[in-house]
Amino acid sequence: MVETVVKVAINGYGTIGKRVADAVSLQDDMEIVGVTKTRPTFEARMAIDKGYDLYVIYEEKIPDFEKAGIKVSGTLKDLLKKVDIVVDCAPGKKGIENLETYREAGVKAIFQGGEKHDRIGHSFNSLSNYSENLGSDYVRVVSCNTTGLARTIFPLVRDIGVERIYATMIRRGVDPNDSKKGPVNAITPVLKVPSHHGPDLKTVIEGVNIDTLAVAVPTTLMHVHTIIVKLKRDSTTEEVLELWRNTPRVNFVKGSEGIISSAQIMEMGRDLIRPRSDLNEIQVWEDGVHVVGDHLYYYQAIHQESDVVPENIDCIRAMFELIDDNMESIEKTNRALGIN
Ligand code: NAD
């Protein structure tokens, strides 16, 4: 018998927001009270078709929704009066502009990885620092890339010890639904060195020694990371594989079984027949993992639209102290979402 049901708002029903809304709806200790849109798009209409109450972010846009025949239940401020927490899924760097509104409404808030850690003060990954966020009011779930790094690196730090990491993020150019941005025929390096991913990982794994580079490539499917880790002692490929076998939300794929690129991983994702073909787990190429002495080499792939979704659920649990143990929350979320 569940005693507390946390009332949740989603501010920004886009790529991440709609997935978090559906994931919250599958839990028995939280519920969606409403979601917001800025404009009367097909996503606004589909939110209503799915049974969500729709609220507008900007009151002056209500006539646009009415004209489009899309029923709204009020404004963001109305919605905030009815909830315990808002999951802000606004475009990167926009979410932080909402912080004061949430404070005034007296609701807790989760922000996404597009916001900076410093403005919020707490960052979250289910595996590496759940307990640090117990009872917090404002927390940022780190980005898709940082979540991917945290999932495979944290067990290495915990069980073997890590001296230094060099990692390159090969990032999808845009999400599948974004027809306005590129690159279409180019490879775009991030010239700020290190890329923000390394410093970002330190917000959820304190003191980890990592340098990162990043490039964007013309694909919408996934990010791929190439990672070299200098461990604190000699290890074996089998020891590292066994560690990840026992790590939630990490999955193995095999080149020897024809999974030679992100394309086959997403085909596998489609064959699993999950909502939107989402793959919430980090996909590590098992036959691409090699340990030589104290050096570990590996590749992993990240489904950028969905890996952070279960972390948002665990983050809500931590912030309301519904469950104190991270592994218990991870297991509950995974069961509800049918992952791992
Ligand atoms: P998106 O553009 O798909 O969706 C953003 C939504 O926010 C849209 O529905 C938009 O109408 C709404 N919005 C616009 N202005 C707003 C405002 N001022 N307040 C609230 N909502 C507003 O964006 P997304 O890809 O879902 O990204 C959301 C956040 O999640 C960003 O911080 C991003 O960095 C992070 N993130 C994105 C991905 C990804 O690959 N898409 C992965 C992990 C984390």
Reported as a single tens digit per residue, the pLDDT across 244-276 is 999 999 999 999 999 999 999 999 999 999 999
**pLDDT (0 to 100) of residue 219:** 96
**Among 10, 13, 15, 101, which is best to mutate for testing ligand 1, by the most ligand atoms less than 8 A from CB?**
15
Q: Locate the ligand 1 atom nearest the alpha carbon of residue 141 and give its number.
A: 44
Q: Is 261 helix (H, G, I), strand (E, B) or coil?
A: coil
The answer to whether residues 191 and 333 belong to one domain is: no
Dihedral of alpha carbons 282, 285, 291, 292, sign: negative
The answer to whether residues 283 and 332 belong to one domain is: no
> Which of 70, 117, 111, 62 lies closest to 90, judged by CA?
111
Average pLDDT, integer, range 100-119:
98
Q: What's the pLDDT band for 1 if we cut at 50, 70, 90?
A: very low
Would 71 be classed as within a structural domain? yes
Range of the domain at 258: 144-302
Distances (CA, A) of 154 to 41, 70, 209, 330: 40, 45, 12, 15
Which pair of structure tokens corresponds to residue 302? 């990240």
Cβ-contact 310, 281 below 8 angstroms: no
> Which of 139, 19, 145, 9 lies closest to 79, judged by CA?
9
Cβ-contact 220, 173 below 8 angstroms: yes
Q: Is 185 helix (H, G, I), strand (E, B) or coil?
A: coil
Beta carbons within 8 Å of 176's beta carbon, 6+ residues apart: 220, 221, 305
Sheet of 123-124, strands arranged across: 54-56, 30-37, 6-11, 85-88, 108-111, 138-141, 123-124
- Average pLDDT of the residues of the chain: 97
Cβ-contact 308, 144 below 8 angstroms: yes
305 close to ligand 1 (CB < 6 Angstrom): yes
**pLDDT (0 to 100) of residue 16:** 98
The answer to whether residues 73 and 138 belong to one domain is: yes
Ligand 1: centre distance to CA 163 (Å): 35
Would 94 be classed as within a structural domain? yes
pLDDT digits (tens, 9 = 90+) for 110-153: 999 999 999 999 999 999 999 999 999 999 999 999 999 999 99
Q: Is 203 exposed, middle or buried (0-12, 13-18, 19+ CB in 10 A)?
A: buried
Q: Is pLDDT of 51 > 80?
A: yes
| Rg, the chain, Cα only | 20
Would 33 be classed as within a structural domain? yes
> Which of 128, 130, 219 lies closest to 172, judged by CA?
219
The Cα–Cα gap between 54 and 51 comes to 9
Would 1 be classed as within a structural domain? no
**pLDDT (0 to 100) of residue 277:** 95
- Longest pairwise C-alpha distance within the chain: 66
The answer to whether residues 153 and 184 belong to one domain is: yes
**pLDDT (0 to 100) of residue 319:** 98
The answer to whether residues 158 and 138 belong to one domain is: no
Q: Is pLDDT of 197 > 60?
A: yes
Ligand 1: centre distance to CA 308 (Å): 13
Average pLDDT, integer, range 3-16:
95
> For position 236, which CATH number holds?
3.30.360.10
Q: What angle do CA 13, 262, 338 make, to 5 degrees?
A: 55
Ligand 1: centre distance to CA 15 (Å): 6
**pLDDT (0 to 100) of residue 4:** 84
Average pLDDT, integer, range 151-169:
98
> For position 24, which CATH number holds?
3.40.50.720
